[in-house]
């Protein structure tokens, strides 16, 4: 086991670096084929509806909560290109997941726009159809650094929506958080480029870390109010093992909403769809009613209010490992089936029992443990399977 050292206040912290990428379980093809029915449910009755696909394990930012520079340095062994799923392999798997009931596909990373010619993959995925005969809801999460160059091509290829990660408007704070001295103005320009290209329902995700960027909450809300961009605040999560997560750095969403409502009128809104992770709040007009022209915000309470009970998301890593939870410790190897000559029928049959046997509910279990409880097995890094 390789060990990397990272400085921490008052003490030296040692981070064990284990290559989770080689720890996948074998995906087993059942003796009897199981044809997709379009309605696959797990042990808790949760349907498979959302597939998140990581297209690269690389990123040009070094955010401390995701890919800290002390771990992901110039010597970090990224996956070779030959290990990555090709666009054709990704599209083939996506088609099989759609047959099992997936309706939404999100491209993630790392930073997905670092994957060369990504618009070609978008075009292939946009041509697929759900079991209802409709195109999948095709979206992408990005840090926004390359959006100015790529927004139009992505829209023309068939991308429906985009979500941009932005952790503050203060340039000094933002440069410190991305840890590569990238200016906030360039991310804002990327968001404007997405609007100009005609991408709809643009969202901005802000990871809130108490004592680091929580003073940016109100400026962010004011900036995006009435712009057609939905701002979502995400509680700082204990993903992976390299970000040095501590509970005292989590700002609960309930406290965040209290802060905002002290300055801006907000009213609660109903969920937009089953399994939605964000609690929605709309900006109110003078009469106290939601004004759609002013837009809305969302809060994702992944630490203080677990939403495992209706989680309908699966995650496919850049090298073809299927993960059933953001906090998983192991994936299931689908690439071996793809490259081993397995038929579509066989691969679809292998996917079905993986989801049907799913019982993951990490966040619910975490909330029931004492604050000083010893962590379980090492979880996969978010930068590897996407957020």
356-376 pLDDT per residue, tens: 999 977 665 665 555 544 455
| Ordered DSSP codes for 141-206 | EE-STTHHHHHHHHHHHT--EEEEE---S-HHHHHHHHSS---HHHHHHHHHHHHHHT--S-EEEE
What are the residues facing 282 on neighbouring strands? 267, 296
What is the predicted pLDDT for the residue at 11? 35
Query: Which segments within 258-387 are labelled E, that is strand?
Result: 266-268, 279-283, 296-300, 313-316, 321-323, 332-333
Token duo for residue 255: 């406290």
Q: How many CB atoms lie within 10 A of CB 222?
A: 14
Q: Which of 338, 358, 385 is nearest to 29 (CA)?
A: 338
Both tokens of 111, joined, read 């930073």
- How do 2-8 and 11-17 pair as beta strands? antiparallel
Residue 175's pLDDT is 93
* Burial tier of 209 (Cβ tally within 10 Å: 0-12, 13-18, 19+): buried
Higher pLDDT, 240 or 217: 217
pLDDT over 60 (residue 164) = yes
Q: For residue 304, what pLDDT is reported?
A: 76
Q: What is the pLDDT of residue 37?
A: 94
Are the C-beta atoms of 236 and 245 separated by less than 8 Å?
A: yes
Q: Residue ranges per domain, the chain?
A: 2-385
- Topology (CATH level 3) of domain 2-385: TIM Barrel (3.20.20)
d(CA 97, CA 350): 11
What is this structure's pTM? Answer: 0.87
Give the Cα separation of 10 and 128 in Å (integer): 54
The proportion of the chain whose per-residue pLDDT surpasses 90, expressed as a percent, equals: 69
Nearest to 229 by CA among 137, 315, 161: 161
Task: Convert the pLDDT of each residue in 187-207 to its tens digit.
Answer: 999 999 999 999 988 999 999
Element spanning 2, H or E:
strand 2-8
Mean pLDDT, to the nearest integer, of 92-96? 98
Give which of 89, 90, 162, 158 is closest to 127, Cα–Cα. 158
Query: Which has the minimum average pLDDT: 17-21, 252-256, 299-303?
Result: 17-21
Choice between 149 and 8, residue whose per-residue pLDDT is larger: 149
pLDDT band at 13 (very low <50, low <70, confident <90, very high): very low
3 state DSSP class of 307:
coil
Cis geometry, peptide bond prior to residue 21 (ω within 30 degrees of 0): no
Q: In the numeric block, which tokens belong to residue 52?
A: 């998140």
pLDDT in tens, 23-69: 689 999 998 888 899 999 999 999 999 999 999 999 999 988 788 89
Query: Taking 90 as the threshold, does the pLDDT of residue 127 lie above it?
Result: yes
User: Confidence band (pLDDT; 50, 70, 90) for 8?
Assistant: very low
For residue 24, the model assigns a pLDDT of 83
Report the distance separating Cα 105 and Cα 344, nearest Å: 19
Cis amide prior to 110 (ω within 30 degrees): yes
Signed CA dihedral, 214, 219, 222, 228: sign only = negative
Mean of pLDDT over the chain: 87
Q: What are phi and psi of 228, to 5 degrees?
A: 85, 0
Could you write out the DSSP letters of every residue in 228-250? T-EEEEEE----SSSS---GGGB
Which DSSP state fits 20? Answer: G
pLDDT over threshold 70, residue 5: no
């Amino acid at each position: 086991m390789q060990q990397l050292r990272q400085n921490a206040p008052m003490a030296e912290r040692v981070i064990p670096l284990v290559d989770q990428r080689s720890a996948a379980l074998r995906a087993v093809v059942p003796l009897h084929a199981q044809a997709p029915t379009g309605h696959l449910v797990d042990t808790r009755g949760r349907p498979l509806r959302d597939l998140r696909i990581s297209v690269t394990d690389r990123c040009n930012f070094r955010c401390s909560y995701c890919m800290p520079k002390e771990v992901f340095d110039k010597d970090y062994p990224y996956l070779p290109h030959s290990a990555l799923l090709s666009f054709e392999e990704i599209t083939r798997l996506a088609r099989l997941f759609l047959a099992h009931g997936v309706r939404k596909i999100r491209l993630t990373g790392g930073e997905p726009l670092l994957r060369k010619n990504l618009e070609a993959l978008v075009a292939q995925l946009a041509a697929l159809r759900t079991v209802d005969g409709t195109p999948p809801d095709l979206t992408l999460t990005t840090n926004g650094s390359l959006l100015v160059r790529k927004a139009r091509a992505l829209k023309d290829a068939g991308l429906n929506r985009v979500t941009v990660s932005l952790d503050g408007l203060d340039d000094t704070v933002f440069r410190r958080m991305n840890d590569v001295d990238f200016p906030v103005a360039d991310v804002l320009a990327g968001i404007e480029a997405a609007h100009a290209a005609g991408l709809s329902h643009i969202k901005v995700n802000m990871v809130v870390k108490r004592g680091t960027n929580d003073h940016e909450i109100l400026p962010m809300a004011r900036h995006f109010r009435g712009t057609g961009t939905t701002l979502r605040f995400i509680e700082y999560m204990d993903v992976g093992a390299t970000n040095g997560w501590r509970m005292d750095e989590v700002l609960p969403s309930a406290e965040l909403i209290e802060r905002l409502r002290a300055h801006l009128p907000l009213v609660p809104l109903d969920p937009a769809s089953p399994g939605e992770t964000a609690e929605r709040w709309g900006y109110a007009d003078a009469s106290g009613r939601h004004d759609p022209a002013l837009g809305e915000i969302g809060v994702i309470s992944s630490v203080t209010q677990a939403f495992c009970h209706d989680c309908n998301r699966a995650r496919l890593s850049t090298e073809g490992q299927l993960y059933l939870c953001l906090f998983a410790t192991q994936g299931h190897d689908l690439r071996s089936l793809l490259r081993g000559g397995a038929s579509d029928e066989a691969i679809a049959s292998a996917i079905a029992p993986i989801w049907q046997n799913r019982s993951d509910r990490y966040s619910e279990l975490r909330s029931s443990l004492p604050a000083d409880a010893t962590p379980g097995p090492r979880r996969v890094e978010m930068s590897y399977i996407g957020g």
